[in-house]
Amino acid sequence: MFKKVLIANRGEIALRILRACRDLDISPIAIYSELDAGAIHTRLADEAYNVGGGPPSESYLKIPAILDAARRAGAEAVHPGYGFLAENADFARAVIEAGLTWIGPAPEIIAAMGDKTEARRAASDAGVATVPGTPDPVTTAEEVSAFADEHGIPLAIKASAGGGGKGFRVVHSPDEIEDALSGAAREASAYFSSPDVYLERYLERPRHIEVQVLGDSGGSVLSFPERDCSLQRRHQKLIEESPSPALDPHVREAIMEAAARVSKQVGYRNAGTCEFLLDSDGSTFYFLEMNTRLQVEHPVTELVTGIDLVKAQIFVAAGEPLGFDQGDIGLRGHAIECRINAEDPSKKFMPAPGKIGNLEEPSGPGVRVDSGVEAHGTIPQAYDPLMSKLITFGADRDEARRRMLRALGEYVVEGVKTTIPFHSMMLADPRFISGDYHTGTVEREMDLEPLASAPAPQPQPGDAEVADRRFELELDGKRFAVHVREDLEHAVRPRKPTPPESAGAVAGGGSEALTAPMQGTIVKLLVSQGDEVTVGQPILVLEAMKMENSILSHTAGTVEELKVEAGAAVDTGAILAVIR
Ligand code: MV4
């Protein structure tokens, strides 16, 4: 077994992996960005290495810096977690070329499954149904029309390199074809540097069912009972459960077998997930895509099977036997996971980063909290808003549901808005209680208005002014904390600089400069240099904390200069364009 494993991630998943390492007597090594110098994962690791600045592109995505940390620590293996570099085949390859073990599938498999048309081909070759669609990318509106004539409308246009709903468009009528095709291709280029898109028949009210697989070092593939991930919004999952309230045992057996067949077809090793759409008849399912990583929602599977998936990943990577086989993978009881995000559910789930005041996490029978935050900690805007995952287990679905409601009621998060009120509402909703929900339920059928009147508790006076300053020193991966206590009541405090006005206007180059209201990544430009624009016209799309934000013009005039291009990372206040 490995002696040292480097965890190339942050937040709750870094802690989850760190704990699996401890359980295996492996020394966990952390990396951290400047913003995470005092973070829990940084503190709990045996060694922690600063890999750069706050923006992910300067730290958690910086391959050379991460490999350098692994080398300095003498780590033998790298666990990527989810997000960041987890599905980056170049990173996996670089890890292996540096003589380290990659805790995940082979880089070639990551690359192959990253191409959705190739994944669909693998499924077909394995005899598993995919949604009727085009085997190869399409480029012209004529091809889309021809597909519509043959398979009917609605149809879906999807990015070949897609994922997370990026480059995904639904065509409901023939006159939408042109715009949907160019929109999907443009988004695909911006996010995946490839404009390739393909077509599928669009299913109206499917459930999103996924199957965890685990390829062992001997070439067998184990599959696990499904997770139902249909409760999501804008392709961000909110609640997951296992088993699905919609599957009967025969369909379960069939979908688990289908996932194992697709995985075997590609020689899959380590943990992965096959995604399916389950049609509204409750028994027809289609392979959608494969995720070549550990997923956020893996704990629900752990609770109903009793198997530690992260430990299993490490065993497989180390070439050691798992100690269990398909016959040992049962299904006992029911598990539900609620994602606790720093988001305001009454404001369209707007990211709500900031400083946490008091924090009390629930516990008790059937409750597991996988958390990455602590009282008086900060949720930086630079990262994903996931604070923690609340997972409950029960002998049956209603016991798990009631425990969830109890645990949500115990949860106290002061200072930032969270998804907790949404979850309390959803878990008590007749649609959840009956299990009769689908991928459109949250967006199309829920009235979230009542949540607006449930204000988040404010931090107590004094909370935000903790008289405890901490400095972190790092020396060869060993970290030292310096605490300075300060009597704030008697201290002379510098005045806070006035923040720039919210959306766009002012700062920097005078009133003609359009500036970034938040740190993020430019997804696309909607205007060109020389264009005449009106007040409030969208100028570009900026992605921050998994949200796309249209940045609107603060003035009417001519776009004299565009200071950024698609793909650029920008800081708060950066000048985006000059309009006069
Ligand atoms: C679909 C679909 C219906 N029909 N494909 C959205 C993102 C991408 N990963 C797959 N997605 C969908 N593909 C066909 N042919 C509906 C969705 C979809 C969806 C899928 C899973 C979970 C939530 C969803 C929400 C909206 C649409």
Residue 439 CB less than 6 A away from ligand 1: yes
Segments of the chain scoring below 70 in pLDDT:
454-470, 483, 485-511
Name the amino acid, one letter, at 53: G
Sheet holding 575-579, edge to edge: 513-515, 575-579, 557-562, 532-533
Give the whole-angstrom CA distance, residue 443 versus residue 434: 18
Residue 54 CB less than 6 A away from ligand 1: no
Residue 237: half-sphere exposure toward Cβ, Cα within 13 Å: 21
Residue 238 and residue 231 in contact, taking contact as beta carbons nearer than 8 Å: yes
What's the token pair of residue 88? 């980056």
Residue 132 CB less than 6 A away from ligand 1: no
What is residue 516's predicted lDDT score, i.e. its pLDDT? 87
Strand partners, 575: 515
Atom of ligand 1 nearest to the CA of 232: 23
Residue 245 CB less than 6 A away from ligand 1: no
Name the amino acid, one letter, at 261: R
* Three-state SS at 422: helix
Q: What's the CA-to-centroid distance between 207 and ligand 1, angstroms?
A: 9
Whether residue 353 has a cis bond before it, omega within 30° of 0: no
Residue with CA nearest ligand 1 atom 25? 439
Residue 50 CB less than 6 A away from ligand 1: no
Residues 181-201: b if buried by 16+ CB within 10 A, e if exposed: bebbbbbbbbbbebbbbbbbb
Give the whole-angstrom CA distance, residue 502 versus residue 504: 6
What's the token pair of residue 487? 């009597």
What is the DSSP code string of 397-436?
HHHHHHHHHHHHHH-EE-SS--SHHHHHHHHTSHHHHHT-
Residue 5 and residue 79 in contact, taking contact as beta carbons nearer than 8 Å: yes
Give the whole-angstrom CA distance, residue 406 versus residue 254: 35
Q: What's the CA-to-centroid distance between 376 and ligand 1, angstroms?
A: 38
φ/ψ (deg, to 5) at 316:
-60, -45
- 571 by Cβ neighbours in 10 Å (0-12 / 13-18 / 19+) ranks as middle
Residue 133 CB less than 6 A away from ligand 1: no
Q: What's the CA-to-centroid distance between 158 and ligand 1, angstroms?
A: 9
Residue 209 and residue 274 in contact, taking contact as beta carbons nearer than 8 Å: no
Residue 26 and residue 17 in contact, taking contact as beta carbons nearer than 8 Å: no
What are 526-542's pLDDT values in tens digits?
Answer: 999 999 998 888 898 88
What is residue 362's predicted lDDT score, i.e. its pLDDT? 98
Residue with CA nearest ligand 1 atom 15? 202
| Helices marked H in 134-201 | 141-151, 177-192
Residue with CA nearest ligand 1 atom 1? 202
What is residue 464's predicted lDDT score, i.e. its pLDDT? 43
What is residue 454's predicted lDDT score, i.e. its pLDDT? 59
What is residue 455's predicted lDDT score, i.e. its pLDDT? 54
Q: What angle do CA 502, 506, 512 make, to 5 degrees?
A: 135
* Of 233, 421, 440, the residue nearest 344 (C-alpha): 421
- To the nearest 10 degrees (0 to 180), the angle between helices 249-265 and 116-125 is 110
Strand pairing report for 378-379 and 270-278: unpaired
What is residue 468's predicted lDDT score, i.e. its pLDDT? 59
What is residue 469's predicted lDDT score, i.e. its pLDDT? 66
> Ligand 1, residues 147, 155, 203, 445: which to mutate, most atoms within 8 A of Cβ?
203
Residue 156 CB less than 6 A away from ligand 1: yes
What are 83-138's pLDDT values in tens digits?
Answer: 999 999 999 999 999 999 999 999 999 999 999 999 999 999 999 999 999 999 99
Name the amino acid, one letter, at 420: I
